[in-house]
Amino acid sequence: MVSSLRTHRHAHYPPPWFSVAPMMEWTDNHYRTLARLISKNAWLYTEMLAAETIVYQKDNLDRFLEYSPEQHPIVLQIGGNNLENLAKATELAEPYKYDEINFNCGCPSPRVAGHGCFGARLMLDPKFVAEAMSVIAAHTDAPVSVKCRIGVDDHDSYNELCDFIYKVSSQSPTRHFIIHSRKALLNGISPAENRSIPPLKYEYFYGLLRDFPDLRFTINGGINTVDEVNAARRAGAHGVMVGRAAFQKPWHTLGHVDTAIYGAPSSGVTRRQILEKFQVYGDSAVGKYGRKPTVRDVARPLLGLFHSEPGNGVWKRKADAAFLHCTTMKSFFEETLVAIPDHVLDSPIGEPSSGGEDPFANIHTLLPPAYESREQELLYA
């Protein structure tokens, strides 16, 4: 219920030095519940929600927008290309008190970028993005931000990226940009290939820090460990966003965030303790909307919890079998956790692995030439 959520946004939250990327069909309520049990400080993002979904489901909003107060700080990501629907969707989401509203200008999926022309394709229309951000900001008390790529198809020069940032920031209240440091290729490759085939150009991101000192930038793309997060921050990034690693290896990634990034003392929490709390949540969630969610839906984020640990393979096989007939999280755990040795379940997170190459060590020697805005031409284009 909306009434169970915080009614203000003035609580003190840690800065967004580390955030978990919005990932379709991954960063749902179930995953975010697990993530918050592991890390108290990471900023969490919803899956992208299309503005039309929110508008058309206005009588069923809890299913899409509800979350527990423990999930703060949390950001709602929305997508769309219709200003009226973006306004309505933001207004409908406002009672849920998200800590920031993020607009998707980075998704390369054909379902998003092609049909309906939103996601990464919007980078080709910064004037519209500025209008959209102004509309979103007018209907919420939360800060607003944009998540984008460094370019689209052949529109991939540093100056074109700067033109986009300049136009959106100068014509809207947007002061925070999350930059996926690859361009998007909209034709011919899949979303998965878009996360690996276009080369990373971190020098573009750090160029933005130099050329737009009054804005805030979060780096995304190819960063998988807390060591790399801290390296990016030492090089000057205001924040770092991690995607797949935080879902596929939640214990080994999120388990180090509070201590290694935020400097908090170790909580000493174990995976057994996390699963005991997750079971309470899970059994309240299973079947909440008729036949959905199922035990499989709720338990899916747990499948990486024992990554590389003894018993992990057996645990996953037992989970696959249990999904066929278990109707509660309690019975699911009773059937599957016998595969995991007690010392794995009862040990707190160990020290983070270190010693990898610093991908940002020489980044400031690689920066593109400084941006010189074509102010009049851009503002009136």
Question: In the predicted model, what is the mean pLDDT of residues 105-132?
Answer: 77
The number of helix segments (H) and strand segments (E) in the chain equals 17, 8
Look at 120 and 218; give whichever has higher pLDDT.
218
pLDDT digits 0-9 by tens, 126-154: 999 999 999 999 999 999 999 999 999 99
Q: Is the pLDDT confidence value at 221 over 90?
A: yes
Alpha-carbon Rg for the chain in angstroms:
21
Q: Which residues are catalytic?
A: 107
252 marked as binding residue: no
244 marked as binding residue: yes
**Using alpha carbons only, what angle is made at residue 233 by residues 301 and 369, rounded to the nearest 5 degrees?**
120
1 marked as binding residue: no
DSSP labels, 197-257: SSPP-HHHHHHHHHH-TTSEEEEESS--SHHHHHHHHHTT-SEEEE-HHHHHSHHHHHTTI
pLDDT digits 0-9 by tens, 48-76: 999 999 999 999 999 999 999 999 999 99
Whole-structure pTM value: 0.93
Reply yes or no: is the peptide bond before residue 110 cis, omega within 30 of 0: no
Q: Is the pLDDT confidence value at 322 over 50?
A: yes
239 marked as binding residue: no
Question: In the predicted model, what is the mean pLDDT of residues 187-209?
Answer: 85
- Measured on CA atoms in the order 53, 76, 176, 121, is the torsion positive or negative? negative
Look at 372 and 363; give whichever has higher pLDDT.
363
From 159, 170, 171, select the one nearest 208 (Cα to Cα): 159
* Backbone phi, psi, residue 21, to 5°: -65, 145
- Given strand 18-20, what is the order of strands in its sheet? 18-20, 239-242, 216-220, 176-180, 144-149, 100-105, 74-79, 44-50
pLDDT digits 0-9 by tens, 287-297: 999 999 999 99
Q: Is the pLDDT confidence value at 116 over 70?
A: no
Question: In the predicted model, what is the mean pLDDT of residues 264-272?
Answer: 96
Q: Is the pLDDT confidence value at 303 over 90?
A: yes
Question: In the predicted model, what is the mean pLDDT of residues 86-107?
Answer: 96
pLDDT band, very low/low/confident/very high, at 109 (cuts 50, 70, 90): low
User: What does the DSSP 8-state code read for residue 365?
Assistant: G
CB–CB of 236/194 below 8 Å?
A: no
290 marked as binding residue: no
376 marked as binding residue: no
What's the confidence (pLDDT) of residue 77?
97
| SS3 category, 330 | helix
Question: In the predicted model, what is the mean pLDDT of residues 224-251?
Answer: 97
Q: How far apart are the C-alpha atoms of 35 and 45, rounded to whole Å?
A: 11
Q: Is the pLDDT confidence value at 113 over 90?
A: no
What's the confidence (pLDDT) of residue 353?
77
Measured over all CA atoms, what is the biggest interatomic distance in the chain, rounded to whole angstroms?
Answer: 67
221 marked as binding residue: yes
pLDDT band, very low/low/confident/very high, at 185 (cuts 50, 70, 90): confident
pLDDT band, very low/low/confident/very high, at 178 (cuts 50, 70, 90): very high
What's the confidence (pLDDT) of residue 6?
38
Counting residues of the chain whose pLDDT is more than 90, the rounded percentage is: 83
From 373, 362, 380, select the one nearest 212 (Cα to Cα): 373
Q: Is the pLDDT confidence value at 79 over 70?
A: yes
What the block records as the tokens of 27 is 């960063």
What the block records as the tokens of 135 is 């509309």
Q: How far apart are the C-alpha atoms of 364 and 361, rounded to whole Å?
A: 8
What's the confidence (pLDDT) of residue 7?
40
Helical spans, DSSP H, in the chain = 29-38, 51-56, 61-65, 83-93, 126-138, 158-170, 191-194, 202-211, 226-234, 244-248, 250-254, 271-285, 295-299, 312-322, 329-336, 342-345, 375-379
5-14, 290-299, 324-333, 360-369: range with lowest mean pLDDT? 5-14
pLDDT digits 0-9 by tens, 2-51: 433 434 454 689 999 999 999 999 999 999 999 999 999 999 999 999 99
Give burial (CB, 10 Å; 0-12/13-18/19+) of 342: exposed
What's the confidence (pLDDT) of residue 106?
82
What the block records as the tokens of 263 is 């400097």
CB–CB of 162/117 below 8 Å?
A: no
* Backbone phi, psi, residue 325, to 5°: -140, -15
pLDDT digits 0-9 by tens, 309-318: 999 999 999 9
pLDDT band, very low/low/confident/very high, at 115 (cuts 50, 70, 90): very low
What's the confidence (pLDDT) of residue 376?
53
What's the confidence (pLDDT) of residue 368?
97
222 marked as binding residue: yes
Question: In the predicted model, what is the mean pLDDT of residues 276-280?
Answer: 98
